[in-house]
Structure 1
């Protein structure tokens, strides 16, 4: 009688084995998909609403309030003042910028960033201003100033140091052959528009008014200047070694901070102003606003969306940094990419914006680069070399002094965006008949697509830009052909054998049936033996 339990357990196991063999296609579910939460139930949405034409920003090129300077402007460190950075930036080599420039020059009569007529491509840089560095060779024009108009003109003071570095990646042209660094489109012209500054603060009489401003939540950044080593009144401590702007490692140039100049509304006004400047064909925006996604769009964002859409319709390519993560600008690493944690504007308005993520020297997306379904392409954004933004400097910069006083490399999606703007300038010079939509499509279609469905993901978008391909490739849509479709390329392995599975199924079924029969037989024999009379 003691064998009764084991025999039954053996029979159950054998029956399970037989059923499993007879049903090879049946498997247990591993996990259930996470459903998206509708916006009206507290969820968030990835796509912005349609453009509201009635929200177009008022035309203005003046500050929204009175700002006064409270932090000293960026300046060079006294140590290593004569350091020259002769090496070529890795990003410049990675993108084969000089090869692309040769292609552009051969096609346009000897220029990189000029049309064949000799007219330069104008790139509006909406940022913290642009210092007229000698390496621009006089190709910087005054635009507008939403902070404070001071000499030498609107937009030509860069107290923070950020805008000059951005513009340098686009258009700098060092004449010293021993310097490896060069701007992507070194013959283009920069139109400087100073829209924000972390060194200028609202005047005391405007402080109360600023608290009532209608802007999206601006807590999605670190405090302005935290990365710059300077505090209010402490300009002497803001040193540059060998020279750069502050807060490059924070979520970027955020808008709507109570103690800094620059709001989403003035950003919208700056875009509207740039779109009306004669000759501007590219707008670079390396400042943005990152906020928690909450299923709504604010009025200032509607005005920015309308301004960006208007620029696009005016045949202008708007390039924007995808944004950097921070303590209050959360990375979009949730399960459903269409339900983001953070929204970044203007990249959010992807229909009319070419938004740029950052990669590092490994070729992978930088850990600080904000992900999202609106990311268009990617470009180098770490270990940056650009112009020293300090006034009267003729040097380069590759470091910034952060809050702890230690020099750190320059990095951020802020500096990936101008690489793309420079390439757009080259493309517009070589293909002057392409409109903004076609130029954007050429940049996307010639990028190094990631191994993802459709050749696109939420990390690098359509991939890292390829300047040489952007200037040489045949784009099907431009030739009236159907767009290229992603296909799975064959590998070197032999093809998989897709043979008939019936013999294997029959064999397993037979083996399973035999095991079941054996189990039944053992069970019957055991029962008969158990019921047989004991011998006397």
Structure 2
């Protein structure tokens, strides 16, 4: 971690309005938009304007326009398919996920996250045996593929990996990887895809076929395709990534999926619709959004952003916990590394709406801030986001993936704030399962208050927010803020001591024998010393003349 990153905290401030300027430019009695009223003097937004609930839009339950598939779907690698990835991801060890799951199971007498529904708003989720029957269809906002339920095709290979971190449950005891809440239910909504584009033709063509004539979702990728494969040392089942015969499939170097990107499917409008629909129909307890929109901070708020802001505010008021990736720095999404953190040069939505959204930054294996994790006053907490292991999203796969292929033969590790967010969503599911009476704000507050706070004023900064999550603390600590609340007192953690054996008298016998032997030896020594002194000849008495 770069020097000072954990210590360079900033505080969110409200900038005074320029009343004089507004008085000149705006006629008396005219209504000034909320975003115009909140604009600071420097022309930037460190924090968003007030929520405009008139922007809350209904859920259309479908795509905003007609899309067609333009790239082949993610495919399994033809290499190393029989290798089983057995090692446990470093993120699991770092966060003590196994211990957290034990705590929940002991407290609930059930599974870890059982009964909790987590909505994954992403590129869809492929059916995988390690999600068992806990994967259900939520909705389709791209294009319903033939023979599949809405939301259950992941052509990009992104949403499945996100869902795996939340709730995968391997059936192989030798596999170290496991989801954070392996008994939670995943509700999948396909909201965007970089393998689809707006259809301007009168009819939708069939999906692209491989060079051999087989469908693009085949387990055998066409020549020159991009896909993932396991590493040669540790291995992985099948591998994942984005692949197509034209070598134009988007990669996952930074693990993100951008909304409003030209030539792709996915808008802020449909995201807002999904969020409202989930809350209105009570379809999930938690929403994970590893998708975002990144743009320059230029002192404005768009219609789409206002729609998302209204939707997350509505969902939060309905008791839904909303988790979002903080964003990944790229050429088109510059890092907020300016001297004054109150003047961000990049705005990321939905993390921008931090009053209702818990956004998640990424750390790397050293515990430092991952270089791609976008900084900002909206960052709430942080979690592991590098060297990711998760479910292989390819059709008919039953293994894991830890690499993605890009640009032909270039293999890269899976990483991004996209994969830090599901660690937090999984933790929220565990907290929800253990503290059934906590509302959404209470769950978020518990995650924030028990995080490993950075050494900064107020215990937060713009890099990791309130700090890296601490699942064990979130499930066991008694919080002052919950005094008088309905949260139960956490069960004490019993020391792992060996069981007592009251019928075994050997230790007592040995102890008494040792004590008795020592006493006998002492008496013998005293007797010998006394005998020697009594038998010693008397010394002559000297006389003086």
TM-score range, shorter chain: 0.7 to 0.9
Q: Distance in 1 between matches of 2:278 and 2:51?
A: 19
Which of 419, 437, 461 lines up with 1:457 in the alignment? 461
Q: Distance in 1 between matches of 2:202 and 2:258?
A: 20
Which of 272, 277, 282 lines up with 1:278 in the alignment? 282
Aligned positions of 1:481-500 closer than 5 A: none
The Cα offsets for residues 264-304 of structure 1, whole Å up to 9 and x where unpaired, read as: 11111121122234351100000000100001101110000
Q: Distance in 2 between matches of 1:202 and 1:50?
A: 33
State yes or no: 1:324 paired with 2:312: no
Which of 152, 170, 194 lines up with 2:190 in the alignment? 194
Structure with the higher fraction of residues in helix conformation: 1
CA-CA distance at 1:68 after TM superposition: 0.9
CA-CA distance at 1:252 after TM superposition: 1.7
Residue equivalent to 1:24: none
Which of 140, 150, 156 lines up with 1:154 in the alignment? 150
Q: Distance in 2 between matches of 1:279 and 1:65?
A: 24
The Cα offsets for residues 341-373 of structure 1, whole Å up to 9 and x where unpaired, read as: 100000000000010000000001100000001
Aligned positions, number: 416
CA-CA distance at 1:59 after TM superposition: 1.7
Aligned partner of residue 201 in structure 1, secondary structure: strand
Aligned partner of residue 158 in structure 1, secondary structure: coil
Which of 379, 404, 414 lines up with 1:400 in the alignment? 404
Residue equivalent to 1:134: 129
Aligned positions of 1:78-477 closer than 5 A: 78-114=78-114, 120-150=115-145, 151-205=147-201, 237-242=225-230, 243-246=239-242, 247-250=251-254, 252-477=256-481
Q: Distance in 2 between matches of 1:380 and 1:286?
A: 14
Residue equivalent to 1:50: 50
Aligned partner of residue 437 in structure 2, secondary structure: coil
Q: Distance in 1 between matches of 2:156 and 2:297?
A: 29
Work out whether residues 72 and 238 of structure 1, in 8 Å CA contact, stay in contact via their aligned partners in 2: no
Q: Distance in 1 between matches of 2:56 and 2:321?
A: 18
TM-score, normalised to structure 1's length? 0.75
Work out whether residues 58 and 277 of structure 2, in 8 Å CA contact, stay in contact via their aligned partners in 1: no
Aligned partner of residue 256 in structure 1, secondary structure: coil
- What runs of 5+ residues in structure 1 fail to find an aligned partner? 1-35, 115-119, 208-232, 482-536
Q: Distance in 1 between matches of 2:117 and 2:484?
A: 29
Structure 1 residues 251 and 140, CA, compared in 2 at 3 Å: closer, same or farther? closer
Work out whether residues 72 and 234 of structure 1, in 8 Å CA contact, stay in contact via their aligned partners in 2: no
Q: Distance in 2 between matches of 1:162 and 1:84?
A: 21
TM-score, normalised to structure 2's length? 0.74
Structure 1 residues 297 and 266, CA, compared in 2 at 3 Å: closer, same or farther? same
The Cα offsets for residues 129-169 of structure 1, whole Å up to 9 and x where unpaired, read as: 00010000111000111001123210000000100000000
Work out whether residues 130 and 164 of structure 1, in 8 Å CA contact, stay in contact via their aligned partners in 2: yes
CA-CA distance at 1:336 after TM superposition: 1.0
Q: Distance in 1 between matches of 2:198 and 2:336?
A: 33
CA-CA distance at 1:43 after TM superposition: 2.5
Q: Distance in 1 between matches of 2:480 and 2:397?
A: 46
Residue equivalent to 2:36: none
Q: Distance in 1 between matches of 2:42 and 2:108?
A: 54
Aligned partner of residue 428 in structure 1, secondary structure: helix
Residue equivalent to 2:66: 66
The Cα offsets for residues 187-245 of structure 1, whole Å up to 9 and x where unpaired, read as: 000000000000011112499xxxxxxxxxxxxxxxxxxxxxxxxx9896132214223
Aligned partner of residue 75 in structure 1, secondary structure: coil
Aligned partner of residue 164 in structure 2, secondary structure: helix
Q: Distance in 1 between matches of 2:93 and 2:195?
A: 34
Residue equivalent to 2:541: none
Q: What is the aligned-residue RMSD (CA, Å)?
A: 1.9
